Amino acid sequence: MNRVFFGAVVAALLLGCTLCAQEPTTHEVSFPSGDAAWTITFGEDRGGAATQRADSAKEKTVAGQVAKIEIVRMADGRHDIVNYANGSKAEIWWPARAGLVVFRMDGERANAFRSGYFDGQRYDAAAFQWVSRDTFLGMETFGGRSCRHYVFEQMLVGGEKIVFQAWIDNQTNRPVALKVGGGAAGVFAFDLPLPDRAYAPDSEFAAALERCREALVPRKSYGR
């Protein structure tokens, strides 16, 4: 066999093996099920530097000033504590199967909303539904862990876009980080201790939920 031809064949095979090694065997995202507690901490990217600018002039920054989100999900619902960079806090209660969310900022009245308004703040398995082979970009190291890196662009009205990035641990399939727009990546920590008992919302939260339920009840139309 011609030596030049043989060398070309070997080089092609080696390149093919390298590309195969970069292609993961799965694109699964494994999120804790059942009762669980986890946090998302913002402020640093995979290199340890703060990320305060958008990746491009056309990318919409949506991260806001959230520093950390603490989440506890138990049988009767889910309770979030949102810690902001300025020291203020908010509470979010997600009642089980209610389709509603109760939100309260420090010092303000609790109000209930349709849960769809908070879809961008779930930070659970629903936040990674776009992760697939089609959005896989390559292998990267994030926080010392070998991760699969995924990127998805969502176009908005006016030519702006939101870029979603996810880093998934290649061994456990657990989310390592999620970055939305030009803000800092949110780094996940799982398997945290659960409280001794299920979270029970206080009377103000319960009253806000009841007000919202009553407002959503169809009213009878008289005279028709």
pLDDT of residue 3: 55
Tokens of 24: 């993961």
Question: What confidence tens digit (pLDDT) does each residue in 11-58 have?
Answer: 444 444 444 446 788 999 999 988 999 999 997 555 544 444 334 434
Give the range with max mean pLDDT: 50-64, 82-96, 128-142.
128-142
43 neighbors 50 (Cβ within 8 angstroms): yes
7 pLDDT higher than 70 = no
Judge whether 79 and 72 are in contact, CB under 8 Å: yes
Give yes or no for a contact between 150 and 135, defined as CB atoms under 8 angstroms apart.
yes
Q: Could you report the per-residue pLDDT of 143-196, keeping only the tens digit for each?
A: 999 999 999 998 888 888 899 999 999 999 999 999 998 888 999 999 999 987
Instruction: Output the pLDDT for position 218.
Output: 58
Residue 131: per-residue pLDDT: 97
The residues, any chain, with a CB within 8 Å of residue 11's CB and separated by 6 or more, are: none
N- to C-terminal Cα separation, the chain = 92
Domains within the chain, CATH numbers bracketed: 35-193+204-216 (2.50.20)
Look at residue 76 and tell me whether its pLDDT is greater than 80.
no
